[in-house]
């Protein structure tokens, strides 16, 4: 997939010429996936050459970065500032449901039609996505580009936006720290499931299906929680709920109780994750002018996603060096520090969505 270090220059392509930056990558995604692969040596049709998967996977990852940065930058042009939390809640609800439904139907499709046809179904779905985006009638004002403006200048401006606001700095630090140790946890977690808890692939799928209910719940009620306790406290609460409920995870014994306990722990964690992300993304969209949204989102994505591969490497090294359960203990307890970045910062005092700073 595309390396996490790619996003900042992406903003150079996001010039807000209407909605084109959003639906072009989405429409292009289907072109990157071949409907059929080269037959294998045994003559079986539809077997994909691994090299094709690597190449197309890379392009899909790059285009996904374009889309993700563009849609977050585009949303503030579609809704009022007071509607951002509700809009992001609806987007994340549909995203969470799709993330659960996709793998659930992929298995039967692969069993019935083979893997290449499953990829064809996936590619066809992007036509629907592109058509939905093309149906949006709201167009943005084109931001004129200065002839002297360089890609490096745009990257530096994105860094100035994040670094110049204490609230954004602490949100970036919280998310990056959490992503680092979450990646370390997940690099060891599946080995724990398979080797020590005795789970099979179906059990793991059912586990995450059950836990995803918490994520859907978090997406549905994040706006209400923010209205009740304030945007900042909702961000802090989400960060805490994401990390603390999973602390007992390394101490679970094998047996029936493990599945039930993990379903609850991961469900609450997913709830906190959605509560945190919806409110912090909405806050970022509210305080930065639309013309700078692309640079803000590209910069934040680089900062907070750039820690993921480092965390995975760290988790793998810890697992080999001190064992799976010990590695999980270290990563999980270290990850709880993340919420302190928003608890002990101006983020905690945010009650309502502020106006954008010109």
**Residue 324 CA: distances (Å) to CA of 76, 129, 191, 264:** 43, 40, 8, 21
CA–CA dist 163, 167 (Å, integer): 9
The whole-angstrom separation of Cα 212 and Cα 199 is: 18
Q: Give mean pLDDT in consecutive 10-residue pieces for the chain, a chain of 358 residues.
A: 40 41 52 44 52 82 85 85 88 85 73 77 84 82 67 85 93 97 93 88 85 92 94 97 95 90 95 96 91 89 93 93 94 96 95 71
Locate 230 and state its tokens.
Answer: 């304030």
Residue 13 and residue 66 in contact, taking contact as beta carbons nearer than 8 Å: yes
Check if the beta carbon of residue 276 is closer than 8 Å to that of residue 238: yes
Please give the Cα distance from 184 to 356 (Å, whole number). Answer: 36
All structural domains of the chain with their residue ranges: 8-134, 151-349
Structure tokens at 72: 């977050």
User: Position of tokens 């509560």?
Assistant: 275
Rounded Cα distance between 202 and 107, Å, is: 11
What's the alpha-carbon Rg for the chain, to the nearest Å?
Answer: 21
CA angle 129, 132, 133 (to 5 degrees): 90
Print the SS3 string covering the chain: CCCCCCCHHHHHHCCCCCCHHHHHHHHHHHHHCCCCCCCCCCCCCCCCCHHHHHHHHHHHHHHHHHHHHHHHHHHHHHCCHHHHHHHHHHHHHHHHHHHHHHHHHHHHHHHHHCHHHHHHHHHHHHHHHHHHHHCCCCCCCCCCCCCCCCHHHHHHHHHHHHHCCHHHHHHHHHHHHHHHHHHHHHHHHHHHHHHHCCCCHHHHHHHHHHHHHHHHHHHHHHHHHHHHHCHHHHHHHHHHHHHHHHCCHHHCCCCHHHHHHHHHHHHHHHHHHHHHHHHHHHHHHHHCCHHHHHHHHHHHHHHHHCHHHHHHHHHHHHHHHHCHHHHHHHHHHHHCCHHHHHHCCHHHHCCCCCCCCC
- CB neighbour list of residue 93: distance below 8 Å, 6 or more residues apart: 216, 219, 220
CATH 1.20.1250.20 fits 151-349, yes or no: yes
Measured CA to CA, the distance from residue 290 to residue 138 in angstroms comes to 14
């Amino acid at each position: 997939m595309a390396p996490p270090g790619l996003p900042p220059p992406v903003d150079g392509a996001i010039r807000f010429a209407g909605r084109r930056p959003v639906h072009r990558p989405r429409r292009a995604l289907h072109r990157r996936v071949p409907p059929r692969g080269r037959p294998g040596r045994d003559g079986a049709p539809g077997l994909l050459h691994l090299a094709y998967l690597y190449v197309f996977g890379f392009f899909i990852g790059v285009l996904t970065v374009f889309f993700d940065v563009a849609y977050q930058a585009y949303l503030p042009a579609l809704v009022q500032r007071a509607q951002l939390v509700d809009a992001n809640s609806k987007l994340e609800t549909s995203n969470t449901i799709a993330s659960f439904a996709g793998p659930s139907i992929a298995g039967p499709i692969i069993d019935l039609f083979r893997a290449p046809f499953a990829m064809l179904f996936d590619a066809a779905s992007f036509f629907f996505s592109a058509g939905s985006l093309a149906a949006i009638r709201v167009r943005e004002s084109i931001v004129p580009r200065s002839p002297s403006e360089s890609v490096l200048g745009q990257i530096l401006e994105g860094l100035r936006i994040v670094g110049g606001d204490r609230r954004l700095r602490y949100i970036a630090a919280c998310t990056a720290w959490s992503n680092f140790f979450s990646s370390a946890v997940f690099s060891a977690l599946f080995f724990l499931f398979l080797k020590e808890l005795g789970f099979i692939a179906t059990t793991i799928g059912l586990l995450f299906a059950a836990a995803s209910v918490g994520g859907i719940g978090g997406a549905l009620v994040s706006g209400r929680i923010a209205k009740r306790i304030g945007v900042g406290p909702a961000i802090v609460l989400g960060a805490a709920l994401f990390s603390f409920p999973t602390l007992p995870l390394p101490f679970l014994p094998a047996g029936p109780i493990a599945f039930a306990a993990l379903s609850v722990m991961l469900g609450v964690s997913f709830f906190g994750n959605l509560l945190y992300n919806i409110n912090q993304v909405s806050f970022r969209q509210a305080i930065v002018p639309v013309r700078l949204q692309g640079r803000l989102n590209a910069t934040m994505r680089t900062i907070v996603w750039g820690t993921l591969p480092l965390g995975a490497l760290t988790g793998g090294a810890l697992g080999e060096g001190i064992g799976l359960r010990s590695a999980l203990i270290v990563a999980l307890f270290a990850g709880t520090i993340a919420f302190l970045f928003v608890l002990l910062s101006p983020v905690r005092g945010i009650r309502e969505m502020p106006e954008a700073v010109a």
